[in-house]
């Protein structure tokens, strides 16, 4: 996956924060780590980071080979993708460094 990885904190500055790992999609190389993708009803989704908030994106996932799943639609070059989403994450949730 052509991506740079970075860690961000989710939550308030107190002890209730969660560290998350993200990847910046440096090119559209056809796939992402399968751990980033989860089910939302009948759809496949990922979380992206934009304007210091989490954003839920519906994606069309293709085939998986090893730990990489092809993403056919829903992501663009430069998107910051959460690699290991947590069940407690919500659309619009703020982040901090």
pLDDT at residue 14, rounded to an integer: 46
pLDDT at residue 20, rounded to an integer: 63
Q: Is 87 helix (H, G, I), strand (E, B) or coil?
A: coil
pLDDT at residue 91, rounded to an integer: 95
61 CB-near residues (< 8 Å, 6+ apart) = 37, 44, 69, 70, 71, 72
pLDDT at residue 15, rounded to an integer: 45
Query: Which residue, 23, 3, 14, is CA-closest to 96?
Result: 14
Distance CA 23, CA 74 (A): 15
Tokens standing for residue 57: 């994106």
Distance CA 39, CA 27 (A): 24
Please say whether the beta carbons of 51 and 43 come within 8 A.
Answer: no
Please say whether the beta carbons of 23 and 34 come within 8 A.
Answer: no
Give pLDDT tens digits along the chain (97 positions). Answer: 444 555 444 554 444 445 566 666 654 455 677 788 899 999 999 999 898 899 999 998 888 888 778 888 888 878 888 888 888 889 999 887 6
All structural domains of the chain: 3-96 (2.40.420.20)
């Amino acid at each position: 996956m052509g991506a740079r990885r970075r860690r961000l904190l989710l939550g308030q500055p107190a002890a209730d924060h969660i560290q998350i790992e993200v990847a910046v999609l440096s090119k559209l190389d056809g796939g992402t780590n399968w751990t980033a993708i989860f089910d939302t009803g009948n759809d496949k989704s990922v979380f992206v980071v934009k304007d210091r908030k989490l954003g839920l994106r519906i994606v069309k996932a293709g085939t998986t080979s090893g730990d990489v799943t092809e993403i056919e639609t829903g992501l663009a070059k430069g998107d910051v993708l959460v690699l290991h989403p947590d069940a407690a994450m919500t659309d619009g949730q703020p982040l901090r460094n």
